[in-house]
Amino acid sequence: MYHIDGTDYLKQKYYTKTKSICPECMDKLDAEIVEENGEIWMKKTCPEHGFFKDKISSDPRYYKWTHYGTDTWSFEKDGETNPADIKGKDPRGCPYNCGLCEEHISTCQLALIDLTNRCNMNCNFCYANVRKAGYLVEPSLEDIDRIMKHFRSKPIPPVAIMFTGGEPTVRKDFPEICAMAKKHGFKEVIVATNGYGFQKKNGGLEWTKRAYEAGLDTLYFQFDGINNPTWEKTRGIKNLMAYKERVIKNCREVGLTSVVLVQTVVKGITDIEIGNVIQFAIDNIDVVRGITYQPVSLCGRITAEEIQELRITNADVIKEVERQTGGKIGLDNSWYPLSTIVEFGRIVAYLAGVEPIEFTCHPDCGFATYLVVDPKTNEMVPIMDYFDPIKIVEFSNKFWNKIKHKEKKQIKFFENFIGDFGKTLDKGVNWVDKQQLKARFLTGMLQYTRKPGKLMEMFSRMLLNGRWESVSAFTHGTLLISSMHFQDAYNLDVERCKRCIVHFGVALPDGTIFESPFCTMNTLHRPVVEKMIAKQYTEKIRNEFDTTLGQRADEIVQEVAYNGGTKKKEE
Amino acid sequence: MSEEVIINKDGLKVRKLVDLKPTTAKEYQEAMLHRVKKFSKRKDSPFNDFIENTVVQGLKAILDTKVTIDKILGSNKDKLYSTIEKILLTGL
């Protein structure tokens, strides 16, 4: 199925040069990405701290497919760029000049705001936690408003925003913040959450309703598995499944039908639960829209042996999905890099006259597939059963190459002859031109569509109007499965940083906004930036939550009193 | 539900997914249609656009016919598609 099948690419050993950083001193280094013993590795040497080697992919064939281009295929897309926010001062360049600098070659598609670093849990691998940091980071409503304004005022603004933390829902003003995001024009408002606000036994349902009605669209919901012992290993809390199920139940009751289960994949701990999470999603398909696997990022000083022991790549996750679904969702026939649909998205946006969604991230950043139910067999199948993906992508790429000049230069036929009066006539000509392009594109898509049905109706609506509502209705008939491998200092590739489409925004005390790609923020900038905005860590904050239960300490006291003084440690 | 549940040596429940079968495909479709219903309440919703609804119904009919024709054409359909593609890209 690969577009490079039958070419010499597959016979060649993969090799490329890039830039990375030293995991010890964080200085910039030359790096090589090489194929060795049936795997893809990054190798780099720091003059001071020595040699480092880390696995990038466990499947060279798949890796080469995503990195070699042909006339009609390339996963490395040139992104549209917004003007730089700052002029980089560090002579070493990317990734030290975040702010955002002129070296960045993609636009932000998902804006992130850390609402707080307070959290009701204390996960051992989490970096964003008030207890570990020793200071509080919590932007005011005015700061949040400034950050949203910053993102939405760009020539190509992001359509989606995600609130992160800490646990964003520990903030009482969370619904107000969701409403603020809608007011700023974000189409999709998402929260990355362990479910705290939504699961509360007293008032959780009302709280979920308030957040939903205020504008919250999607929960990016921490979900490591279905077994309590797994949760205990990852989050240090016993019997957490009941907590997680309350979240799903409350979302269902209020009609918040867009939950994405997010599994942090840790070798030997949560990887065994990959298939369980898929089945849980299918069982709760009325509210669960997708699953995102996140191979764990490695922080701190660890040995080369430990890296090899812990490292799990996107390819490993994809192979595990294949294994745990009995080959139903296979590496060879289901998964595509996110950048696959760039041209397709540009055509839809241009023809419908809507804001484009530009997944011009690096091909290593994320992979995805859609599952749909075949109404005839009642079985979940990859969406590729409905389309011929290779043909659709090829046709879209060719079509966009032919029409992209029209986006920049409108037809000016009558204006050239009769001046300003002709502008109105040219508007009509341009409208007719778009309709004939739409007809051609739709015909092209139709011929590579294999099955009819309601889902295809939604797909044709998406092509016709490009509206967010159509995209949303389409995704409600599918289950999106993706794998996102965020970088750490061991595998950081500067080319990936430059193409990042997920950006943090931080309001600095001097009135400016610091915008940074996700991986550079977490690998390099977070400690420095957070110290600039840190607030005092008080005794009240320290004792706010019992992190062994994931609940507010004062609510536990109330419950103990209610239970006649019997301390209820487990549910 | 078509699944086999295995308890591993650590006592963890591991579902061996055999068929990836949901309870019913109806639930899926309902989730999608529920979304459409929600959006249809808005004044400017594309789901209330008469022209678009007509076009979508037309496309649905074309797709149904196309799937039938595909079956009749068999392997010859690739040649036909390649020709149609060339026509669609001509003159752009």
User: Which tens digit of pLDDT belongs to each residue from B3-53?
Assistant: 566 677 777 766 655 555 555 556 667 777 777 787 788 777 888 888 888
Assess whether A27 and A145 both reside in one domain. no
Q: Are residues A21 and A164 in the same domain?
A: no
Instruction: List C-alpha distances in Å: A481 to A262, A294, B35.
Output: 10, 11, 20
**A391 contacts in B (CB within 8 Å)?**
81
Name the residue among A227, A324, A446 with its Cβ closest to that of B12.
A227
CB nearest to B34's CB, from A257, A381, A458? A257
CB proximity B38 to A under 8 Å: yes
At a CB cut-off of 8 Å and minimum separation 6, what does A35 contact? A13, A14, A15, A41, A60
pLDDT at A206 over 50: yes
Segments making up each domain of chain B, as ranges: 1-46, 49-92
Please judge whether A474 and B32 are an interchain contact, meaning their C-beta atoms are less than 8 angstroms apart.
yes
Query: Residue A571: is its pLDDT beyond 60?
Result: no
Q: What part of B 40-69 touches A (C-beta under 8 Å)?
A: 42, 45-47, 49, 52, 55-56, 59-60, 62-64, 66-67
Does ipTM surpass 0.90 in this model? Answer: no
Per the CB < 8 Å rule, is A325 touching B33? no
Q: Which of A229, A452, A455 is closest, CB to CB, to B12?
A: A229
What's the Cα-to-Cα distance from A152 to each of A26, A113, A239, A355, A422, rounded to whole Å?
Answer: 32, 13, 41, 12, 34
Closest chain B C-alpha to A449 CA, distance in angstroms: 8
pLDDT at A316: 93
Is the model's pLDDT at A448 over the cut of 60?
yes
Check residue A161 and give its pLDDT. Answer: 98
pLDDT at A12: 85
Query: Considering the domain boundaries, does residue A333 fall inside one?
Result: yes
Residue A471 and residue A460 share a domain: no
**Cross-chain Cβ contact B32/A476 below 8 Å:** yes
Say yes or no: A293 and A281 in one domain: yes
SS3 content of chain B, % helix, strand, coil (to 5): 65, 10, 25
Tokens found for residue B33: 């249609």
Residue A73 has pLDDT above 60, yes or no: yes
Q: Do B84 and A447 touch (CB under 8 A)?
A: yes
Q: Does B85 touch chain A (CB under 8 A)?
A: yes
Nearest Cα residue to A227 out of A272, A161, A182: A272
Bigger pLDDT: A530 vs B26: A530
- Cβ separation of B28 and A373 shorter than 8 Å? yes
DSSP H or E run through A369:
strand A366-374
What is the rounded distance in angstroms from the CA atom of residue A198 to the CA atom of residue A212?
Answer: 10
Looking at residue A300, its pLDDT comes to: 64
Which of these, A226, A497, A475, lies nearest to A368 by C-alpha position? A475
Inspect the interface and report whether the beta carbons of A403 and B34 lie closer than 8 Å.
no
pLDDT confidence band for A559 (50 / 70 / 90): low
Same domain? For A279 and A231 the reply is yes
The predicted model scores a pTM of 0.89
CB < 8 Å to B67, chain A:
450-452
Q: What integer is the mean pLDDT of A20-42? A: 95
Mean pLDDT of A533-553: 90
Is A180 inside any structural domain?
yes
Q: Is the pLDDT assigned to residue A566 strictly greater than 60?
A: no
Residue A335 has pLDDT above 50, yes or no: yes
Residue A222: inside a domain: yes
Contact call for B23 and A472, based on CB within 8 A? no
Give the pLDDT score at A162: 98
Residues A173, A56 within the same domain: no
Of B20, B25, B29, the CB nearest to A325: B20
In a domain, A86, yes or no: no
Between helix A421-447 and helix B77-89 the angle, nearest 10°, is 170
Q: Cα distance from A153 to chain B (closest Cα, Å)?
A: 24
Which pLDDT belongs to residue A326?
82
pLDDT (mean) for A510-537: 94
State how far residue A200 is from chain B, nearest Cα, in angstroms. Answer: 25
C-alpha A160/C-alpha A158 separation (Å) is 6
Mind telling me how many Å the CA of A373 is from chain B's nearest CA?
6
CB contacts of A448 in chain B (<8 Å) are: 81
Min distance B42 CA to chain A CA atoms (Å): 11
At A221 the pLDDT is 98
pLDDT at A52: 93
Domain that holds residue A272: 110-384+467-533
User: Peptide bond before B33: cis, by omega within 30 degrees of 0?
Assistant: no
A245 and A338 belong to one structural domain: yes
Model confidence band, residue A167 (pLDDT cutoffs 50, 70, 90): very high
Q: State the pLDDT at residue A569.
A: 45
Pair A497, A544 in one domain:
no
How high is the pLDDT of residue A498?
Answer: 95
Nearest CA in chain A to B19: A379
pLDDT value, residue B1: 38
A47 shares a domain with A171: no
With cut-offs at 50, 70 and 90, classify the pLDDT of residue A511.
very high
* pLDDT higher than threshold 90 for residue A399: yes
Work out the mean pLDDT of chain A and round it to a whole number. Answer: 89
Closest CA to A331 of A316, A344, A343, A345: A316
Q: CA A71 → CA A3, A345, A397, distances in Å?
A: 10, 19, 10
Mean pLDDT of B68-83: 87
Same domain, yes or no, for A301 and A368?
yes
What is the pLDDT at residue B2? Answer: 45
Indicate yes or no: CB of B17 within 8 angstroms of CB of A325.
yes
The number of folded domains in chain A is 4
Q: Does B84 touch chain A if contact means CB atoms closer than 8 Å? A: yes
- CATH of residue A263's domain is 3.20.20.70
Domain identity same for A268 and A288: yes
